[in-house]
Amino acid sequence: MRPAYIRQQERFGFVMITPSMLFLFIMAAFPLVMLVVMSAFRIDLTYPAGNRWLGSGNYLQMVHDSRFWHAIKVTAIYTVSTVFLQVVIGLALAMAFFRSFQGQEILRVSVLLPMILAPVVVGLAFRTMIMTPQYGILDYISMVLGFGSKPWLVDPNWALLSVIIIHTWQWTPFAFLVFLASLHALPSDPLEAALMDARNAWQRFWHVLLPMIRPAVVIVVIFRTMIALRAFAAIFSATGGGPGTATEILNLYTYRESFNSLNLGYGAALGTALLVITVVISMIFFRLRQSKM
């Protein structure tokens, strides 16, 4: 028999977590199960009479759906390039600032702003005042510098580049701040000694600093990949997935299929695909962290 106070502790612990666990089971775990179940049905809100069990029908359709594979490709390009750019730029800036960092306050507020602003406002601002040909400030600067006006959001290739720029602009500060914090957290004596030993700047970076902050790099990659896979509002408001399907990441395709075409069954199958991708990637990351740290 366990002592009474331990039983009291256990009971107390369960009581304290019950509301939030119950909430997450009902509002997160259960809907995800429901999503997978829904993906086995035909659920078309525009023609409810035709709704029926399909089994793997939606998935067979998906395998032959070129728009799905296109969305996967766009998602991969978008995720890999935004995460890569954030890490490289964030790291470079953190390196440049970590020893002579004055006027921290202004810079910290400036880099904090993009991250906490509503993505829909960010997307719309880029679509109008920043990337509109001629009148958008970015296009104007490009013209003044002699690069000429660019079809930022109109041309399919440019549009994909533009949404990558928008995401990178909004989230590089996160990588910068994390790298800055971890550089400051390094023990200074071994760091100084190692920096003295290194022969040139490249060695200092590659053989001294990078190995020391590799854990931070891994974490930033994990965090930012998971967030990039959730991206929606900024792209939706900047391009709506267009022109055509040029910037249609899987999230946007799923949204359009579910809530524009009101084809919830197929939408659920696409959502399940996204869920599987998310789970697989986080499992890979989980392994990566365990083995390297």
Partner 1 sequence: MAYQRSLGWLKELRSAMVFSLYVLMILVWAFPVIWVILTSLKSRTEIFTLPPTIFFKPTLEHYIEALLAHDILQGIINSLLMACGTTLFTLIIAIPAGYAFSRVRFPFRDRLSFFALLAQMAPPIGLIIPCFLLLSRLRMLDTYGGLIAVHMTLTVPFSIWLMITYFQDLPPSLEEAATVDGVSPFNTFLKVVLPNVWGGVGVTAIFAFIESWNEFLYAVVLTGSKTKTAPVAIFGFLAAEESRWGPFTATGVMIMAPVIIVALVAQRHIVKGMTLGATKG
75, two tokens: 């998602």
Of 109 and 196, which has the nearer Cβ to partner 1? 109
Q: What minimum distance in Å lies between the beta carbon of 66 and partner 1?
A: 20
Shortest spacing between CB 98 and partner 1, in angstroms: 10
What are the CA-CA distances from residue 124 to residues 135, 250, 275 (Å)?
15, 20, 28
Return the percent helix, strand and coil in the chain, to nearest 5.
75, 0, 20
Give the Cα separation of 219 and 5 in Å (integer): 40
User: What is the rounded distance in angstroms from the CA atom of residue 48 to the CA atom of residue 214?
Assistant: 53
84 vs 98, beta carbon nearer partner 1: 98
Region from 53-61, 66-74, 169-177, 197-205 binding partner 1, contact rule CB under 8 A:
169-177
Question: 85 is written with which tokens?
Answer: 């750019």
Bridge partner list, 53? 41
Shortest Å distance, C-beta 195 to partner 1 = 15
Q: Which of residues 2-41 bind partner 1 (CB under 8 A)?
A: 5-6, 8-10, 12-17, 19-21, 23-24, 27-29, 31-32, 34-35, 38
User: 246 with 156: CB under 8 angstroms?
Assistant: yes
Please list every residue from 116 through 155 that binds partner 1, using CB under 8 A.
Answer: 116-122, 124-126, 128-130, 134-135, 137, 140, 144
For residue 117, the minimal CB distance to partner 1 (Å) is: 6
If you ran DSSP here, which 8-state letter would residue 44 be given? B
Residues in the chain: 293
Binders in 209-238 for partner 1, by CB under 8 A: 216, 219-220, 223, 226, 229-230, 232-233, 236-237
Among 42, 70, 108, 204, binds partner 1 (CB under 8 A): 108
In the bound state with partner 1, the residue whose beta carbon lies nearer, of 158 and 169, is 169
For residues 142 and 282, which CB has a smaller minimum distance to partner 1 in the complex? 282
Binding-site size, partner 1 (CB under 8 A)? 93
Secondary structure of residue 242 in the 3-state scheme? coil
Report if residue 187 touches partner 1, rule: CB under 8 A: no
Provide the minimum distance between the beta carbon of 150 and partner 1 in the complex, in angstroms, as a whole number: 16
Q: Is the peptide bond before 243 cis (omega within 30 degrees of 0)?
A: yes
Tokens 């067979």 belong to which residue? 60
Token pair of 15 as six digits: 């009581």
